[in-house]
Structures are given as structure tokens and as C-alpha cells.
Amino acid sequence: MTMPNAFGITGAGLGLRRALLPALQAGVPDCIDFFEVSPENWINVGGHLGRIFRSLTERHCFVAHGLALSLGGPAPLDTTFLYQLKRFLDKHDFALYTEHLSFCSDEGHFYDLYPIPFTHEAVRHVAGRIRQSQDILERPIALENASYYVQPPQAEMDELSFINAVLTEADCLLHLDVNNIYVNSVNHGYDALAFLHGLPGERIVYGHVAGHDLEPSGLIIDTHGQNTID
């Protein structure tokens, strides 16, 4: 799902999975306007799969949606990975890279995304890492609003204020996850529409829609494991 933007991304996109490659070799349906890929899953792919991937990126619009940069993490940024990522983005001519407003590493990767405390110090910390990453990648980063299931400790502001502060401080873009807004609004009891209206629309580059699971306790989890609700 896309909003008006300066990256030539329009219409509806699809997350590319390796299992889809055989079908896509026969032709890409007209209903798919662009593809989204996680660079971590493709950077080191060569051989037959690498050639198929390259043939797709040469002919279709792609965006990169990262999983492992850990912009909110306490450890120094992995600049080796960032330069590797830049080469990948340059090779395939990806204009846009997005990442989660979260962290996923501290002396090793957690293989999950964790929320960042909503504090002024965290705003400065994350914004500095975003600026450093944008300088290395030589392209803007769009942040995806994340889901979270407990209130971050020692919060000095609410989620909306935190997101807006990071976007302003880092001067970056927003990758809007609609499902995460809904999940958080139910779990934490706020008005999803008011939250959406409070975000800077001019920074939104495209959006995610996905499904979620309902736990017996009433908690809903952003699993991408169910159909998208109306």
C-alpha cells in the first residue's frame, strides 16, 4: 500500500519470498506494482536464485525493508553491515530503505524486535544512529512504527510523541505500519484514528497491512499470520 511519495512507488506491493520465484519467472501479475524484500535474506544469495532475483530487480520496482540494523540498540552500529547493505542497494538500484523503530541486538542478535523506551535520551540516541546510517547509505531511511506489548519503562512521553520526535530529530521518513497502530491501540487503549492523524503525512512513503492473532487473554499479537481485517 502506498501514499504519494518521491520514490516512484505507487499502487500495491508484495513481500518477495523465495518460494514465489518459480511462479514469478513465468510473469508478474499486473496487480503487483512493486516488491518489498528484506536485504538480510538476499545480500549473499548467488547462483541460480541470485540470477532470478537480479532479473526481477532489473525489470520491476523494489524497496528494501530491513530487519537487523537495530537502530535503537545500545551497541555501536554495525558499519560493516551498513557498507555491505549500501553495495546491495546500489547494485539493484533501490532508492528506498526502511527499518523498524526498535532494537534487536546487544552483544548478539535476538531474532526479535524490541521496543525502545520513550525518553528524550532515546530520541537523541536513535536519531544519531539514523543520521549516521543515512550518511553511509547515501539515501534516506524510512522508519516503521513498531508493535509492543508492555509499556516501556520510565517513559517520558507517549508513543506518538516519541515517533514524531525521532522523525524530526533525524529528519527521516516514515514507513507506516497500519496493523501495528491497530495492535497497539487495542493493547494499550488509545484511539487509532487520532494516532494516525497525529503523524506527519508528508513523511510517509508507503504502508504495511497485515493480519494478527488474538490471544485468549484479549491481547493481540502482530504475527502476520492471519488475513488482514477490514
- Across the range 205-218, mean pLDDT stands at 74
* In the chain, % of residues over pLDDT 90: 60
**Contacts with 154 (C-beta within 8 Å, 6 or more apart), sequence order:** 117, 119
Q: What is the pTM of this model?
A: 0.87
pLDDT at 215: 62
pLDDT band at 118 (very low <50, low <70, confident <90, very high): very high
Amino acid residing at 133: S
Helix-then-strand count for the chain, H and E: 7, 11
Give the whole-angstrom CA distance, residue 147 versus residue 215: 15
CATH of range 13-221; options 3.20.20.150, 1.20.1250.20, 2.60.40.10, 3.40.190.10:
3.20.20.150
pLDDT at 5: 54
